[in-house]
């Protein structure tokens, strides 16, 4: 009996265990997005609502916007059907206003855009839920709704006033991009001539006050010096809501490796974006050449503007744009993950904020294609869950924890800056 038992045991031990079934990249991506739906850092639907319909929502159908092409505008990239198909569980809606506005007007229009987001969310209570904290994000997701957060794109929207900053927080804004495409009286932009060498002392106070309140400091659109100054001041993680790696594309909107290295110590996140100019150096060079040709043609045909369009079209036919696909987004994720770790990467698509998107990532339904590409490259399900939303959840929790620890600190007091300075 003992010999028989030992023989049976030996046979069992010698029998190869059944290997777990190998999952396809599509299956790995699907499992990751089911467990951790996408938290996207930047979507410009509110800007589209202002420019297309003047923020008049009563006759607007956000369930399906595929038929919204008109008057020279392409169809919108985002609607409820495509957000669901794309497995989006949380979204920062950008309340961008024109960066060339005088700042008092920018403040007014930003408040209007916040109102627009709140009214849009209220119109679709089965799908959208306003969120101003991690607890509210989690409640929305447990209820099967898309957590809707408000992000201000451009520090001009606070009108040079910490009091206005605090009131924007009270209205529900939970992130502010320090500068947009124009250098402010207190912060240098990546797309404008620098005036301060980064942040002024008032700019430092903006960062401190935002973090005291628990607002997320967004460094997309900021100059490298502004990025570095903000990281000097920050005591909680910061974010880039829609930026890429400058090592792969030299656009000043992207994040240099030196900043990435500091971001790791800060605990922050870069939410990789899909704008072609920020994805592909080849495309960026082509776009600059096309802009130069357009300027040449306008000068050449001065007084005959109707000749410019056909001539530029002929140039574009002879000089086609370089192809850019969803794989290029994955390349930027690869660079950041290899440089500072997968814990510091997220997604900020910039849908409805650009007309130039890569093949395979054309609208809000296409996030699974990106995550499938990442799975093909060897990212585990756990890695993909971090990229889709867990990293962003960590960053927001850390910002809230810092604010809780400073809750007894008085508001920072400062005179409003001279906006003409």
Tokens 């008092």 -> residue: 104
Q: Which two tokens stand for residue 225?
A: 């010096």
Candidate list 180, 196, 251, 335, residue with the active-site label: 180
Please indicate whether residue 44 is annotated as part of the active site.
Answer: yes
Helical segments of 196-325, H only: 201-213, 224-233, 257-266, 276-279, 281-300, 308-318
In a 13 Å sphere around the CA of 34, the CA atoms on its Cβ side amount to 6
Please indicate whether residue 242 is annotated as part of the active site.
Answer: yes
Q: Give strand ranges (E) for 26-126.
A: 38-43, 88-94
Please indicate whether residue 301 is annotated as part of the active site.
Answer: no
Candidate list 242, 251, 332, 335, residue with the active-site label: 242
Question: How many of the other CB atoms lie within 10 Å of CB of 207?
Answer: 26
Candidate list 350, 352, 363, 373, residue with the active-site label: 350
Please indicate whether residue 221 is annotated as part of the active site.
Answer: yes
- Whether the CB-CB separation of 388 and 38 falls below 8 Å is answered with yes
Candidate list 77, 99, 196, 221, residue with the active-site label: 221
Candidate list 44, 188, 209, 229, residue with the active-site label: 44
Plot region of 144 (φ>0 → left; ψ -120 to 50 → alpha; else → beta): left
Non-local CB neighbours of 41 within 8 Å, separated by 6+ positions: 92, 151, 239, 240, 241, 242, 271, 346, 347, 348, 392
In a 13 Å sphere around the CA of 331, the CA atoms on its Cβ side amount to 17
Question: How many of the other CB atoms lie within 10 Å of CB of 248?
Answer: 18
Candidate list 103, 153, 229, 373, residue with the active-site label: 153
Q: Which two tokens stand for residue 53?
A: 């319909």
Tokens 């994040």 -> residue: 255
- Whether the CB-CB separation of 364 and 77 falls below 8 Å is answered with yes
Please indicate whether residue 363 is annotated as part of the active site.
Answer: no
Active site residues: 42, 44, 153, 180, 221, 242, 350
């Amino acid at each position: 009996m003992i010999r028989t038992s030992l023989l049976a045991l030996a046979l069992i031990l010698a029998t190869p265990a059944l290997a777990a079934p190998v999952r396809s990249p599509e299956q790995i991506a699907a499992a990751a997005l089911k467990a951790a739906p996408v938290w996207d850092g930047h979507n410009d639907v509110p800007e589209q609502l202002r420019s297309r319909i003047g923020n008049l929502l009563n006759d607007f159908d956000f369930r399906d916007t595929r038929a919204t092409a008109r008057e020279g505008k392409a169809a919108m990239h985002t609607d409820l059907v495509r957000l669901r198909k794309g497995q989006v569980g949380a979204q920062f809606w950008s309340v961008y206003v024109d960066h060339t506005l005088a700042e008092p007007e920018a403040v007014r229009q930003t408040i209007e855009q916040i109102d627009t987001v709140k009214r849009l969310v209220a119109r679709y209570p089965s799908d959208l839920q306003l969120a101003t904290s991690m607890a509210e994000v989690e409640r929305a997701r447990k209820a099967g709704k898309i957590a809707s957060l408000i992000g201000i794109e451009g520090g001009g929207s606070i009108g040079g006033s910490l009091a206005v900053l605090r009131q924007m927080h009270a209205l529900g804004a939970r992130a502010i991009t320090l500068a947009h495409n124009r250098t402010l009286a207190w912060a240098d932009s990546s797309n404008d001539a620098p005036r301060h060498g980064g942040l002024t002392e008032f700019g430092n106070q903006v960062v401190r006050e935002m973090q005291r309140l628990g607002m997320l400091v967004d460094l997309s659109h900021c100059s490298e010096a502004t990025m570095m100054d903000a990281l000097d001041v920050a005591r909680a993680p910061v974010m880039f809501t829609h930026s890429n790696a400058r090592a792969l594309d030299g656009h000043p909107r992207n994040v240099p490796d030196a900043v990435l290295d500091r971001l790791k110590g800060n605990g922050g996140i870069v939410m990789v974006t899909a704008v072609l100019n920020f994805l592909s150096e080849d495309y960026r060079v082509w776009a600059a050449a096309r802009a130069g040709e357009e300027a040449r043609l306008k000068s050449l045909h001065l007084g005959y503007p109707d000749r410019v369009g056909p001539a530029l079209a002929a140039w574009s036919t002879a000089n086609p744009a370089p192809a850019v696909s969803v794989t290029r987004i994955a390349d930027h994720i690869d660079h950041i993950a290899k440089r500072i770790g997968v814990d510091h990467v997220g997604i900020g698509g910039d849908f409805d904020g650009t007309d130039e998107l890569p093949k395979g990532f054309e609208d809000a339904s296409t996030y699974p294609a990106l995550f499938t590409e990442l799975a093909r490259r060897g990212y585990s399900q756990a890695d993909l869950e971090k990229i889709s939303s867990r990293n962003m959840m960590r960053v927001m929790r850390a910002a809230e924890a810092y604010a809780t620890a400073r809750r007894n600190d008085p508001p920072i007091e400062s005179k409003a800056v001279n906006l003409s300075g």
